[in-house]
Amino acid sequence: MKRTVDVSFPVGPVHPCWKEPARVKCETRGEYVVSAEVELGYMKKGIERIMKGRPWQEVMFLAERVCGICSVIHNMVFIEALEHISGIDVPRRAALLRVIVNELDRMQSHLLANFSYCYTIEHETLAMYLLDVREKVMDQLERITGARVTCAYIVPGGVRFDLRPEDAQALRLSLSAIGEEVMRYTDMFANGPLIALRSRGIGILTKEAAREAYAVGPTARASGLGDIDRRLRHPTYQSLGFSPIVRTEGDNYARIMVRFQEIAQSIGLIQKCLDELPAGPIRGGGIPGAGEIAYSMEAPRGELTYFVRTDAAGRVLEISIQTPSIMNIEACCHYMLTGVSSLADVTSTFVSSDPCIACTER
Amino acid sequence: MTILQKVKNFVRSRSIHVAYVDVGSCNGCDIEVLACLSPRYDIEQYGIFVHNNPREADILLVIGAYTPGWEEKLRGLWEKIPPPKAAIAIGNCPISGCLFARPHTLVDPPVAKHIPIAAQVPGCPPRPTEILSAILSVAPTIFADYEVKTK
């Protein structure tokens, strides 16, 4: 069939709405987007090539810098993969502290994603509110781990620092304040008539399309796929009674609302961890040894898999990382952007899938 | 100094337009630049506006360790910015490559090889306050009396 295309419209690589460079090429008829392609390659650093042949003590810090937004989960997946290879046990206190830090990281990542979306649809007030809440979350992250972004908190056999009682108290107080604010902003987003005009029914990813495109994370959960959440298979999360949040609309609105609801869920999980936190050691013994494993866990953007092969000295012989954003970017370009009726919605739809170019290209 | 120059200096000190470009970082510095926008640090109270539009920018924040994808493009971006202009390297990556400058890497640090860098903010990542103070300390040295200096 012959296709009529008016304009080939490139967006990016430097664009006011985007945090990172990526180029989306849209073929449009009028303002109706017929098809879209993404062009990557501005951020390829070759982290996996650097990692090969290095001891795990160095790879741990490199793994964290695959993605600066979700650095804790990269650290956690790499270290837990090493622990599975070598059979290192983690004390219960350390396992719960890992969940606390991971969920704080998820909260700040989701708040940043929702900030970007609100900024893109030019609801700057809500965007600034969300960025302000994010600073409170970052404070708690810094209080526990000692750093804002790249904290290297998780080490084989446990975590680096203990949670002092006064820090736990401050965390509880701060969480209840954050929870109230997030609830207020969720209401603002859910009931805002102008937000609904820019969000509802735009960039629809149906359940079948999400399955075909292997969408992961909040993007897939907003399209009705709940069972893809890897936290369901993590023993610590299982013991906390975790169940994923699923919505069925599959549009921009649903993707942002899933993130808002997950922030509230993360607050609940952290409070549960603080209630259950037993006294005891935060580090077990054990030295990483030889073996290979493919280990997955749920990053803020979806399923993150590390394939690691190590030798007896703990050197990483082979490593390959599968990050969530690549699937979501493909789902976004081939399913969500097709049929978007206005060019202004191209950027907001792309941002709503929360693309992280740094970890896509590594 | 003429009165016109005084007026220009005053206006320029309160209207610094910033664009940022990520030439291959881990994203950590990007989100610290974004955190500067938040009401806590409130970058706009100092008259700094983050547009991310190079054609109306005065200061370019360069983040990341220069990947091959940016060859020619970064230079072109720098030339799009109208003078007076300055580039600030944010984080360790544009200064030294940080931990990406290892054997088998694809990056080509430092960024100062490719465009002139006026100031450097080390850190992995630097705090938002450090980024803010770097912009504020560079701006007067570049923009004050620009017409007199270039005459």
Query: ipTM of this model?
Result: 0.87
Query: What is the reported pLDDT for A182?
Result: 92
Query: What is the reported pLDDT for A267?
Result: 92
Query: What is the reported pLDDT for B46?
Result: 87
The closest CB to that of B40, out of A49, A132, A359, belongs to A132
A60 and chain B in contact, CB less than 8 A? no
Looking from the CA of A93 toward its CB, the CA atoms found within 13 Å total 13
Question: How many other β-carbons are positioned within 10 Å of the β-carbon of residue B108?
Answer: 18
Please answer yes or no on whether A68 and B34 come within 8 Å at the CB atom.
no
Alpha carbons B48 and B36: distance in angstroms, whole number: 10
Would you say residue A85 lies in a domain?
Answer: yes
Alpha carbons B122 and B90: distance in angstroms, whole number: 7
Q: Whose structure tokens read 């004050």?
A: B144
Domain span holding position A249 = 54-316
Alpha carbons A340 and A335: distance in angstroms, whole number: 10
Vertex B93: Cα angle to B89 and B97 (nearest 5): 130
Please answer yes or no on whether B77 and A14 come within 8 Å at the CB atom.
yes
A13 and chain B in contact, CB less than 8 A? yes
Cα four-point dihedral sign B48, B50, B54, B59: positive
A356 and chain B in contact, CB less than 8 A? yes
Would you say residue A195 lies in a domain?
Answer: yes
Would you say residue A37 lies in a domain?
Answer: no
The closest CB to that of B52, out of A16, A52, A135, belongs to A16
- What phi and psi values does residue A20 have, to the nearest 5 degrees? -130, 160
Query: Under 8 Å CB-to-CB from B19, ≥6 apart: which residues?
Result: A14, B50, B51, B52, B53, B54, B57, B59, B60, B61, B81
CATH number, domain of A142, equals 1.10.645.10
Give the C-alpha distances (Å, rounded to integers) separating A138 from A74, A171, A188, B122.
Answer: 18, 11, 23, 20
Please answer yes or no on whether A13 and B73 come within 8 Å at the CB atom.
yes
Tokens matching residue B20: 């940022």
Total domains, chain A: 1
Mutating which of A65, A119, A361 best tests the B interface, going by the most B Cβ atoms within 10 A?
A65
In three-state form (DSSP H/G/I as H, E/B as E, the rest C), the secondary structure along A54-93 is EEHHHHHHHHHCCCCCCHHHHHHHHHHHHHHHHCCCCCHH
Residue B130: exposure state from Cβ atoms within 10 A (0-12, 13-18, ≥19)? middle
Residues of chain B with pLDDT under 50: none
pLDDT digits (tens, 9 = 90+) for B10-27: 888 788 888 888 888 888
Given a contact cutoff of 8 angstroms between Cβ atoms, the answer to whether B48 and B88 are in contact is no
Among A131, A67, A72, A135, which Cα is nearest to A106's? Answer: A72
Query: Under 8 Å CB-to-CB from B64, ≥6 apart: which residues?
Result: A43, B22, B23, B24, B25, B29, B91, B93, B94, B111
Tokens matching residue A142: 């810094």
Tokens matching residue A145: 């781990």
Would you say residue A328 lies in a domain?
Answer: no
Class of domain B3-149: alpha beta
Query: What is the reported pLDDT for A282?
Result: 87
Given a contact cutoff of 8 angstroms between Cβ atoms, the answer to whether A205 and A219 are in contact is yes
The domains of chain B are located at 3-149
Cα four-point dihedral sign B97, B103, B105, B109: positive
Given a contact cutoff of 8 angstroms between Cβ atoms, the answer to whether A210 and A223 are in contact is yes
Query: What is the reported pLDDT for A2?
Result: 62
Alpha carbons A189 and A254: distance in angstroms, whole number: 11
Please answer yes or no on whether B22 and A43 come within 8 Å at the CB atom.
yes
Amino acid (1-letter code) at residue A130: L
Given a contact cutoff of 8 angstroms between Cβ atoms, the answer to whether A284 and A94 are in contact is yes
Mutating which of B20, B21, B26 best tests the A interface, going by the most A Cβ atoms within 10 A?
B26
Please answer yes or no on whether A50 and B104 come within 8 Å at the CB atom.
yes
Among A67, A65, A31, which Cα is nearest to A357's? Answer: A67
Determine which helix (DSSP H) or strand (DSSP E) holds A358, and give its type and residue range. helix A357-361
How far does the CA of residue A258 sit from the closest CA of chain B (Å)? 22
Would you say residue A108 lies in a domain?
Answer: yes
Q: How far apart, in Å, do the first and last CA atoms of chain A sit?
A: 38
Residues of chain B in contact with residue A128, where contact means CB-CB under 8 angstroms, are 37-39
B136-140: long-range contacts, CB 8 A cutoff, minimum separation 24: B136/B46, B136/B48, B138/B59, B138/B86, B138/B88, B139/B12, B139/B13, B139/B16, B139/B58, B139/B59, B139/B86, B140/B13
How far does the CA of residue B124 sit from the closest CA of chain A (Å)? 8
The closest CB to that of A50, out of B37, B100, B127, belongs to B100
Query: What is the reported pLDDT for A3?
Result: 64
The closest CB to that of A20, out of B30, B70, B104, belongs to B30
Q: Whose structure tokens read 């809500």?
A: A126
Cα four-point dihedral sign B119, B123, B124, B130: negative
Please answer yes or no on whether B30 and A19 come within 8 Å at the CB atom.
yes
Given a contact cutoff of 8 angstroms between Cβ atoms, the answer to whether A254 and A190 are in contact is no
Tokens matching residue A88: 């290192």
Would you say residue A58 lies in a domain?
Answer: yes
A147 and chain B in contact, CB less than 8 A? no
**Whole-model pTM above 0.80?**
yes
Mutating which of B17, B21, B33, B38 best tests the A interface, going by the most A Cβ atoms within 10 A?
B38
What angle in degrees, to the nearest 10, is found between the helix axes of B128-143 and B28-35? 70
Q: What is the pLDDT along chain A (362 residues), one digit of tens a residue?
A: 566 666 777 887 778 777 788 888 888 887 788 888 888 888 888 888 888 888 888 888 888 888 888 889 999 999 999 898 888 888 889 999 999 999 999 999 999 999 989 988 888 888 999 999 999 999 998 989 988 888 888 988 888 888 889 989 999 999 999 999 999 999 988 888 888 888 888 888 888 888 888 888 888 888 888 788 888 888 888 888 888 889 888 888 898 999 999 999 999 999 999 998 888 888 887 888 888 899 998 888 888 899 999 988 888 888 989 888 888 888 888 888 887 878 888 888 888 888 888 888 88
